């Protein structure tokens, strides 16, 4: 079994910097080896690197919506590239969701670009449920985009979208349109304009390890390394407004929690106490962090006020308490504890006014828990007979559903719409990221182009 707590090696008296310890850095997980706004343009001091993620659909559902994305009309030669890119990205987004089957261009019987040009019988013969047509017009430095979604069965337009973009925001505009189309058909928000953060580990030419904290679009494009270190990085956590990331770094030879502002690259150390400083989790109002500290000799949950650096100790047991997560309303703290039979999930008041209540009873081990946006579900890692897998607990029914089928899955994180979970797993001896729907029916692998990737966390919807 992988190590019980990020930084537990300190407690055991081992030297964290030993290369053998960090041969597989995700042993440092706390209880186990362990994309909707479009015009937001990320500006950081780090450079964009060509270390992207590649989505590979491994399992989908049979009841997919059939949709055709007709190549958009090109009104000027200078916009041809951008026009092709938008329709290509929308096709990739919808196809990659697992909810849609996108018609191949060569199978289209016609190519309308205006609603009055659409012959619904062509698309009915092709077995399509929906049709997307559009155009892009360049005016100066801006691109005016118009997209129509049509219902083939009802032979009518569902809705129309209009927006403007610049050359640098074409990809984000395409993801926004994918989200809009997805919501119009499925009734729930899409995740195509969302972002993720993750940690990568690579071997350098000097046979040393290079740890990097990346942020990227949900599909791995526009990847930016916001910090790099020869020492381990772990536990990235997005602020509620998506403008900051907290994380743990060992760059100064001890565990230390930093908060970094993405727009400027500025960062500050917020916790560097004796022993463990780990597992930062933002409060819903963005004013506090729940963190794990062992400065008093035992691993406990504390709440750190970021304005004045004051600390409030929440747990006071002999057990190892760690991996805190806030409820959406900010009133409760979910955490992992060894106070029962092995690692299990507990919940208590965020003000420390109530005793901790155990939530999980199935399986030998339940850890790394976090809430869905609506608070109705908790995603976690559950172990049964040594197999560590992603599971979701329905709080109302108490039913637990196993979503993944690996042996060493870890670090699950809900998508902003609560319908998908991203997590890390091993495949063919390499650490990769995977996506799974909360019903377990749709699955995708996200492969990094180099090195190993772990500890994914989805950014909140802005």
pLDDT at 102 over 50: yes
Q: What percent of the chain has pLDDT over 90?
A: 68
**Residue 10's pLDDT is what?**
36
What are the CA-CA distances from residue 126 to residues 103, 131, 331 (Å)? 8, 11, 52
Model confidence pLDDT, tens digit, residues 410-421: 999 999 999 999
CB-CB contact of 309 with 270 (8 Å): yes
**Residue 61's pLDDT is what?**
57
In this prediction, residue 427 has a pLDDT band, given cuts at 50, 70 and 90, of confident
Task: Tokens for 197, please give them.
Answer: 């953060």
**Where does 296-397 show beta strands of DSSP type E?**
300-305, 311-313, 321-326, 332-340, 342-349, 357-358, 365-371, 377-384, 387-394
**Residue 436's pLDDT is what?**
93
**pLDDT averaged over every residue in the chain:** 86
In this prediction, residue 56 has a pLDDT band, given cuts at 50, 70 and 90, of low
CB-CB contact of 292 with 298 (8 Å): no
In this prediction, residue 62 has a pLDDT band, given cuts at 50, 70 and 90, of low
**Residue 446's pLDDT is what?**
80
**Residue 37's pLDDT is what?**
27
Query: How far is the C-alpha of 55 from the C-alpha of 308, rounded, in Å?
Result: 42
CB-CB contact of 442 with 60 (8 Å): yes
**Residue 395's pLDDT is what?**
94
Model confidence pLDDT, tens digit, residues 313-351: 999 988 999 999 999 999 999 999 999 878 999 999 999
Query: How far is the C-alpha of 297 from the C-alpha of 98, rounded, in Å?
Result: 48
**Residue 25's pLDDT is what?**
30
**Residue 324's pLDDT is what?**
98
CB-CB contact of 403 with 421 (8 Å): yes
- Quickly name the fold that domain 8-35+194-458 has: Neuraminidase (2.120.10)
In this prediction, residue 429 has a pLDDT band, given cuts at 50, 70 and 90, of confident
* DSSP-based three-state secondary structure for 82: helix
The backbone torsions φ and ψ at residue 379, rounded to the nearest 5 degrees and listed phi first, read: -95, 145
- Which residues are 145's β-sheet partners? 136, 163
pLDDT at 449 over 70: no
pLDDT at 32 over 70: no
- Which residues are 66's β-sheet partners? 101
Query: How far is the C-alpha of 15 from the C-alpha of 91, rounded, in Å?
Result: 50
Q: What average pLDDT does range 101-105 have in this prediction?
A: 94
**Residue 57's pLDDT is what?**
55
CB-CB contact of 299 with 11 (8 Å): yes
3-state secondary structure 254-276: CCEEEEEECCCCCEEEEECCCCC
Please list, in sequence order, all residues whose beta carbon lies within 8 angstroms of the beta carbon of residue 43, skipping any fewer than 6 positions away.
262, 263, 264
Q: What average pLDDT does range 44-61 have in this prediction?
A: 48
Where do the structural domains in the chain lie, given as residue ranges? 8-35+194-458, 63-186
Model confidence pLDDT, tens digit, residues 185-199: 999 999 999 999 999
**Residue 341's pLDDT is what?**
74
In this prediction, residue 58 has a pLDDT band, given cuts at 50, 70 and 90, of low
Q: What percent of the chain has pLDDT over 70?
A: 85
222 Ramachandran zone, left/alpha/beta (phi>0; psi -120 to 50) = left
Q: How many residues does the chain have?
A: 462
> Which of 310-314, 370-374, 438-442 shows the lowest mean pLDDT across its residues?
438-442
In this prediction, residue 55 has a pLDDT band, given cuts at 50, 70 and 90, of low
Model confidence pLDDT, tens digit, residues 187-236: 999 999 999 999 999 988 777 899 999 999 988 888 999 999 999 999 99
Model confidence pLDDT, tens digit, residues 109-148: 999 999 999 999 999 999 999 999 999 988 888 999 999 9
pLDDT at 160 over 60: yes
Please list, in sequence order, all residues whose beta carbon lies within 8 angstroms of the beta carbon of residue 18, skipping any fewer than 6 positions away.
none
Task: Tokens for 239, please give them.
Answer: 């602020």
Q: Find out if CATH 3.40.50.10070 is the number for domain 63-186.
A: yes
Query: How far is the C-alpha of 343 from the C-alpha of 246, rounded, in Å?
Result: 25
CB-CB contact of 289 with 303 (8 Å): yes
Determine which helix (DSSP H) or strand (DSSP E) holds 422, and give its type and residue range: strand 420-427
**Residue 292's pLDDT is what?**
98
N-terminal to C-terminal alpha carbon distance within the chain: 37
């Amino acid at each position: 079994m992988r190590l019980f707590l990020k930084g537990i090696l300190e407690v055991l008296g081992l030297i964290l910097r030993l290369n053998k310890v960090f041969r597989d850095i995700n042993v440092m997980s706390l209880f186990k080896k362990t994309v909707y706004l479009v015009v937001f343009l990320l500006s950081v001091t780090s450079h964009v690197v060509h270390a992207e993620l590649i989505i590979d659909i491994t399992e989908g559902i049979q009841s997919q919506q059939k949709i055709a994305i007709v190549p958009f009309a090109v009104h000027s030669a200078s916009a041809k590239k951008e026009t092709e890119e938008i329709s290509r990205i929308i096709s990739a987004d919808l196809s990659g969701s697992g909810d849609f089957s996108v018609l191949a261009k060569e199978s289209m019987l016609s190519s309308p670009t205006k609603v009055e040009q659409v012959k619904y019988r062509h698309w009915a013969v092709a077995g399509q449920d929906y049709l997307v047509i559009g155009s892009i017009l360049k005016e100066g430095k801006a691109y005016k985009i118009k997209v129509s979604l049509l219902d083939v069965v009802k032979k009518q337009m569902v809705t129309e979208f209009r927006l403007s973009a610049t050359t640098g925001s074409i990809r984000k505009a395409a993801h926004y349109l994918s989200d809009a189309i997805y919501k119009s058909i499925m009734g729930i928000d899409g995740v195509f304009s969302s972002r993720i953060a993750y940690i990568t580990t690579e071997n350098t030419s000097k046979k040393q390890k290079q740890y990097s904290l990346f942020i990227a679009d949900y599909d791995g494009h526009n990847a930016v390394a916001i910090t790099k270190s020869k020492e381990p990085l772990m536990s990235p956590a997005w602020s509620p407004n998506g403008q900051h990331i907290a994380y743990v770094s060992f760059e100064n030879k001890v565990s230390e929690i930093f908060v970094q502002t993405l727009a400027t690259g500025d960062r500050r150390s917020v916790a560097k106490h004796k022993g463990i400083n780990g597992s930062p989790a933002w409060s819903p109002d963005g004013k506090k962090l729940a963190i794990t500290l062992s400065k008093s000799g035992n691993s406990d949950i504390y709440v750190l006020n970021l304005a004045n650096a004051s600390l409030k100790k929440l747990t006071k047991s002999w057990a190892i308490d760690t991996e805190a997560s806030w409820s959406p309303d900010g009133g409760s703290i979910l955490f992992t504890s060894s106070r029962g039979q092995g690692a299990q999930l507990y919940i208590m008041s965020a003000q420390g006014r109530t005793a901790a209540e155990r939530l999980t009873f199935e399986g030998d081990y339940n850890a790394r828990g976090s809430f869905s946006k609506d608070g109705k579900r908790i995603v976690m890692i559950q172990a049964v007979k040594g197999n560590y897998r992603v599971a979701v607990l329905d709080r109302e029914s108490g039913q637990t559903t196993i979503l993944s089928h690996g042996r060493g899955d870890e670090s699950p994180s809900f998508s902003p719409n609560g319908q998908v979970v991203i997590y890390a797993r091993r495949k063919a001896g390499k650490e990769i990221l995977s996506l799974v729907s909360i019903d377990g029916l749709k699955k995708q692998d996200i492969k990094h182009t180099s090195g190993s990737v772990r500890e994914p966390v989805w950014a909140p919807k802005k």
